[in-house]
Each structure stands twice: as C-alpha cells, then as structure tokens.
Amino acid sequence: MNRTWPRAAALACLLIAQPVMGATEIRFWHSMAGAPGERLDELVARFNASQTEYRVTANLKRGYEDMASAALGARLAGRAPHVIQVPEAAAGSLLEMKHAFRPVHEVMAAAGGRFDSKSFYPPIAAPFRDRSGRLVALPFNVAVPVLFYNRDAFARAGLDPARAPRTWREVQAAALALRDAGVPCGYTTSWPAWIHLEDLAAWHDEPVTRRANGFDVSYSFNGIMMVRHISLLSSWMKSRIFTYSGRKNEADAKFHGGDCGMLTSSSSAYADIADHARFKFGIAPMPYYDEFPRAPHNSVLGTDALWVLSGKSAAEYRGVAKFFAYLTRPEVQARWHQNTGYLPVSPAAFDLGRRQGYYATRPGVEKLVKQLSRHAPAANARGLRFGNLLLVRAVIDEELEQVWSGRITPKEALDEAVERGNHLLSQFEPARLR
C-alpha cells in the first residue's frame, strides 16, 4: 500500500483551503527535508486553514548550519524571513546577536493572549532562556539519540526481536550475530560527534568540559571513557561489524534500506524510517556501559528552536505570535510528535498522547519521552552553550575520520580535537566581548 497518497491528498485539500488574498505573509525558513518536511507542510497548511488573517509560507533551506548567516544576509538585503529554524548548538552564538533577533517573550507579550513559557519540559527550554529565565526562542523540534534495530534481521540471526540491546557489550554481541547471519552491516551511526561524545558523556554523567557545561572555558572530551569508547568502535571497524557512513544522517538510509541491522541516530529519523523500511523495526534508548553507576542518566537533547528576526512590523509580529501560539497547543504538539519522531516539547502533549493510546503499542517511544524527566539535568547533561560549537563538531568528526581510516589512534584524535576545539572557543570569546 502506498502510504504517501492519503497524506498527499489531505495536504492538497488543506492547501486549496488556504487564504491567499489580503492575508499578511509570514515567511518561515526551515531545514527539514524528506518526511519531516512533508509533515511540516501539513502543519503549516492546517494553521493557514484555521484562520484568514495570516498566511505562513514555509521554505526549505539546505544546510541548517548556515541558516542564521543566510537569514542575516537576507535581512541586510531587505528580503529576510520572519522566522528561522536553528539548532541549539548555535544558541550560544545567536544569544550574542541581540539586535538581529527579537526575543520570543517580547513577541508574545506584545501580541497579548495566552502563552505559558513554563509549559515546556525544563531541559528543552533551558538552552533558549536568557540570564533572567526569559524565553528568547521557541523550542520546536526536540530529538534524542536512540537505537533503531531491524527486528526481522534480529529474528534471522537468532536474536530476540522484542528485546533491544541495552549495553554496548550487548550491541557488540548482536552485531557479531548479525554479521554471521549474512547482514552486510551490523551497526552504523549518524551524527557521530553528538552521539558518541556529547551524548555519551551525558548518558554516563561524565564531563566533556573542565567546569559546568554551558559556561566553561575549555573542552576536555579526551578522558578515559571517551578514549575507551572510540577505541571500541575502532575495533569494531576492523572486525567489520561497524560501518562508518558519514558525519550527518547518511547512516539512516543504510538502515532503512536494510543494509545495517542497527543504527544510532536522532529520534527524528523515525518518520523517514517508517516511510521507507520494508521490515519491522524497534526503537530503544541509547546503550550504556553498566559499570558506570550513574548510567543511564540524561541524554543531550538535539533541539531546534524558532528564532524571530528583528525589523518587522507590528502586524507581522502579531502573525508570528499567532503561529507560535498555534504550535504550542497540546493537540498540535502531540500530532507533530506522533507523525515525525520528534519528542513532545511539553508534558501536556505527552499526556494527551497517552490518553489517545499512542504509546500503548509503542513502549519504546514512551521510554524516550520519559528520558526528559528521568533525572533533574545534572551539570554534565545540560548540553553545551558555546560559541562556534558547530565548527567544533566538524573538527571532532574530522578527527574521528582519521581513526576510522586507521591513520591515528583514538587518544591522538581526541587530544587533537580538544586542542583545535579550544582554539575555536578562544576565537569566539574575544569577539563576544568586543
């Protein structure tokens, strides 16, 4: 059965119903391609059909890393969007651009109406609050690193398809069994820097910086646990049970195409996997090392927020506020979460999904949501609010690639990544103080 046709037909009906003449346009730049982008078009179409005063136009812009720079360039040319989607890794830099963006709390207050900035899960909103606790950007896409596994391939390999590997030792045993059963690739990963350094540390309550994360002066992700973990992955490469697929989400396609039996990726990969996989698959929390007494602890959230650019009219900001108020409705958040694999941003959306029976047949998904409130976020699990963080992640990936190719040892790679990362951080700090 073609699952795309009913969705496309419904979207067409919504698009036909959209008001066009006389509506104030709100331009929204995003970076969601594939299935998430299709779901976003549906969401925007529903908002447009719900009222006649404003019309949101969603435009796909490739490369979310450059989204803020592209929007600021368009702003200087008088062609700026009203809203842009930016990952939390850029929050540290954007918070210093005080005149380029209008804080969300100001936009919502000026428009009046009801908006509770405390309705979000605290770990989700934390990266986007200023020193006074006010919300400067609207949390929108929330994802955590997860383990996907091919249940059909597990059954063929003599593994229990109802039980996901819980520890990295169990991942190794499963990958070996999959290899012996003829699966070309036992395990692969997307987003290596985020998943195998930042999140690995948070999941085990280990530091990646010299002081409390988010307000530090230097990195220190070359400790014993990180070296040990990258060494393990390197040994799996040599044993042909781990396949390196790329720095971003290239590995997702290798999993839903059936080449790899296990995948660590963002939970947001769920929509594309569900659309493309021709096998039963499971989703589970990230594996951990059970000799660490505090593991599993907290995940590092991958959160994209919606930032509002400055320089627009009062009427346009009222439109942005109305769109944002719509996005924060529990029923809208619950639908977005359930259709995409992104996590709900509020307890109200999660509770609604539970009442709807969504989690009854998806216990793995419910476990992921509960990670948001597993523990109060410790210092090592708050994520990083550093300038130039996207560049630092690129450095980490570059050094890890030297390990995967056998050119240098894991310790050498992480030492070099720390040195280069601290240099990038030192470049940002003087600029911030000017």
- In 3D space, the residue among 295, 58, 99 whose CA is nearest the CA of residue 200 turns out to be 295
Give the side-chain half-sphere CA count within 13 A for 412.
8
- pLDDT class of 205 with cuts at 50, 70, 90: confident
Closest CA to 248 of 58, 89, 419: 89
Q: How confident is the model at residue 74 (pLDDT cuts 50, 70, 90)?
A: confident
* Spatial CB neighbours of 317, under 8 Å, sequence gap ≥ 6: 102, 107, 110, 111, 308
User: 36 phi and psi, to 5 degrees?
Assistant: -60, -40
Residue 212, pLDDT > 50, answer no
Determine the pLDDT at residue 386: 56
**pLDDT band for position 54 (50/70/90)?**
very high
The pLDDT, as a whole number, for residue 279 is 97
Contact criterion met (CB below 8 Å) for 125 and 344:
no
Q: Judge whether residue 88 has pLDDT over 90.
A: no
Compute CA 221 distance to the chain's CA centroid, rounded to the nearest angstrom.
21
Q: Which of 138-142, 169-173, 268-272, 369-373 has the lowest mean pLDDT?
A: 369-373
Section 391-410 average pLDDT: 94
Region 277-304: mean pLDDT is 88
Q: What is the pLDDT of residues 101-111, one digit of tens each?
A: 899 999 999 98
Cα dist from 178 to 158, 159, 253, whole Å:
9, 9, 18
33 has a pLDDT exceeding 60: yes
How large a percentage of the chain has pLDDT more than 90? 51
Whether 286 and 146 have beta carbons less than 8 Å apart is answered as yes
How much is the mean pLDDT over the chain?
Answer: 84
Q: Of the given ranges (16-30, 174-188, 268-282), which has the lowest mean pLDDT?
A: 16-30
Looking at residue 12, what is its pLDDT? 45
Beta-ladder partners of 266: 145
Query: Chain-centre distance of CA 381, in angstroms?
Result: 15
Q: For 259-287, what is the mean pLDDT? A: 92
The helix (H) or strand (E) run that includes residue 139 is strand 138-143
Span 266-280, average pLDDT: 89
Q: 3-state DSSP call for residue 24?
A: strand
- Regarding beta strands 145-150 and 54-60, do their DSSP bridges make them parallel or antiparallel, or are they unpaired? unpaired
* pLDDT interval class at 79 (50, 70, 90): confident
Which domains are seen in the chain, by residue range?
Answer: 4-142+301-355 (3.40.190.10), 145-300+370-433 (3.40.190.10)
- Percentage of the chain lying above the pLDDT 70 cut: 83
User: Residue 1 has what pLDDT?
Assistant: 33
Q: What is the rounded distance in angstroms from the CA atom of residue 173 to the CA atom of residue 170?
A: 5
Between 415 and 304, whose confidence is greater? 415
Encoded amino acid at 390, one letter: L
Q: Which two tokens stand for residue 318?
A: 């009222």
Q: Which residue has the tokens 């796909």?
A: 60
Residues 355 and 370: beta-carbon distance below 8 Å: no
pLDDT mean over 396-410: 96
3-class DSSP state of 330: helix
Residue 96, pLDDT above cutoff 50: yes
Q: Please list the residues that pair with 431 across neighbouring strands.
A: none
The CA-atom distances, in angstroms, between 49 and each of 13, 32, 43, 113 are 10, 22, 10, 20
